[in-house]
Chains A and B, each alone.
Chain A
């Protein structure tokens, strides 16, 4: 059965800290892995990863995928209080379904 496991479940840091969020997965026939930020209601897209070892970067956020070890990490450097949110990882298989499988998320709280 396909699954996505995120860790840690929650994290509290202080402004300026660097955090690393983990997403490990098991899937038949991997296609893509996505990261989302969910602050109140609607998740907002951060990254889509399809190839191993290629870092995607946007400002203080970056992400990389390891298809051999079946995980992805999301890094946030110099955290700010506005980074406080739930970070979701989602997986899609290559064929047979349009279904995205989401993890339960990591709840990040950044203290001033």
Chain B
């Protein structure tokens, strides 16, 4: 079946704008992760969902970042009042098991540029 998809693939926002990034995980996958990857760095964990429950949001950098997965499938990462330091690639990954320890399948990412 289809892999993890993310949209948009590219987003340019003016500083102060709100943005919403979408992740469509593989159907039936219980676990969903969001990561932020700055240029030249490894992915940084943002948050984790098990079905619709957000079990770990320890990586969200500020209260401007908000994520949801209301029906346990599609997830949205929202960034309010974007700032230049939010510029990065945002990666979503899903995995089948509720432990989140099995193979994570990553989406292609959304490259966010904040001007």
CB of A44 within 8 Å of the partner chain: yes
| In the complex, chain A residues 87-104 whose Cβ is within 8 Å of any chain B Cβ | 88, 90, 92, 97-104
Partner of A44, one of B44, B106, B109: B106
Q: A31 vs B31: C-alpha distance in the bound complex, in angstroms?
A: 17
A4 to chain B: closest residue by CB: B42
What number of A residues sit within 8 Å (CB to CB) of B?
21
B48 to chain A: closest residue by CB: A98
Given contacts A97-B56, A99-B56, A99-B59, contact A42 B107 (CB under 8 A): yes
CB of B72 within 8 Å of the partner chain: no
Indicate if the CB atoms of A43 and B43 lie closer than 8 Å.
Answer: yes
Partner of B108, one of A4, A41, A48: A41
Indicate if the CB atoms of B43 and A31 lie closer than 8 Å.
Answer: no
Indicate if the CB atoms of B101 and A41 lie closer than 8 Å.
Answer: no
Indicate if the CB atoms of A100 and B107 lie closer than 8 Å.
Answer: no
Given contacts A90-B42, A92-B101, A101-B45, 8 further A-B contacts (CB under 8 A): A42-B4, A44-B106, A45-B104, A98-B55, A98-B100, A100-B45, A102-B35, A105-B42
A residues at B contact (CB < 8 Å)? 4, 31-32, 41-45, 48, 88, 90, 92, 97-105
